[in-house]
Amino acid sequence: MYPVLLKIGPVTIHTVSILHALGFVVGISWIMKHSDEYMLEKEKVYDFSLVIIVFSIIGARIFSILFDGELAYFLKHPIEMLKVWNGGLTFYGGFLFAAVAGVIYVKKHDFDLPTFADLAAPALALGLAVGRLGCFASGDSFGRPTNSLWAVVFSDPHSVAPVGVPLHPTQLYSVVTNFLIFAYLFYLKRKQRYKGQLAFVFAILYGITRSIVEIFRNDPRGVYFGGIISTSQIISVIIVGATLVFYFIYRKEGKLESI
What are the start-end ranges of the H helices in the chain?
A: 15-34, 42-67, 71-76, 91-108, 113-138, 170-189, 197-215, 231-252
Confidence of residue 109 (pLDDT cuts 50, 70, 90): confident
pLDDT average, residue stretch 19-48: 88
**Would you kindly state where each structural domain of the chain is located, as residue ranges?**
4-252
Confidence of residue 122 (pLDDT cuts 50, 70, 90): very high
Mean pLDDT for all residues in the chain: 87
* Distance separating alpha carbons of residues 113 and 216, to the nearest angstrom: 35
Confidence of residue 184 (pLDDT cuts 50, 70, 90): very high
pLDDT value of position 130: 95
* Distance separating alpha carbons of residues 103 and 120, to the nearest angstrom: 12
**217-243 tens-digit pLDDT:** 998 777 777 778 888 899 899 999 999
pLDDT value of position 77: 72
**56-90 tens-digit pLDDT:** 888 888 887 887 667 777 777 777 777 666 666 77
- Whether the full predicted model's pTM is greater than 0.85, yes or no, is yes
Confidence of residue 124 (pLDDT cuts 50, 70, 90): very high
